[in-house]
Amino acid sequence: MPNEIFITPATNETRQDIVSLLQSEKLPVEDLPVSLANFFIAHNNGEIIAAIGLERYENYGLLRSLVVHKDFRNNNIAGKLITALEGKAKKDGVEILYLLTETAPDYFAKKGYEKISREDVPEALKQSSEFSHVCPVSAVVMKKQLL
């Protein structure tokens, strides 16, 4: 059982821990942005146990790299990260958040995201590495209206 979990913005100093956590869950890291200014982390006793990121494309956002260490799942950590990310996205003027998932469409549906087809994704997002080559075409595309 985790102690108190803190959600904070990621920093350059936390980058390698985020990369290691993503790699441990076999999630892509080769296309992580240089700056993780739009990423959040969850930590427990100084250990990074979860992360989430936002990529910005015009007035759209791409939710990416949501990961929770297996020992800390089912503690609403992912939900808290999503809330933090959506709050920042709204504050920054993101109108719609998109995501790609192979494993969690039901989870994101409970968070208000709806399945859409790849054809309905704005062109700006289709140029992202996540859409163009990192995530397989079998990944489910979802969106959520923020503003």
Domain range enclosing 14: 5-145
Consecutive H or E run containing 9: strand 5-9
Number of domains, the chain: 1
Residues of the chain with pLDDT under 70: 1-3, 132-137
pLDDT at residue 138, as a whole number = 73
DSSP calls for 72-110 = G-SSSHHHHHHHHHHHHHHHTT--EEEEEESS-HHHHHH
Question: Could you tell me the two tokens for 17?
Answer: 């821990």
For the record, the structure tokens of 37 come out as: 């200014």
Report the run of H or E that residue 127 belongs to, with start and end: none
Q: What is the pLDDT of residue 66?
A: 94
Among positive and negative, which fits the CA dihedral 104, 7, 125, 133? negative
Q: Could you tell me which of 19, 39, 38, 41 has the C-alpha nearest to residue 30?
A: 19
Domain CATH number, residue 51: 3.40.630.30
pTM for the full model?
0.90
pLDDT at 27: 85
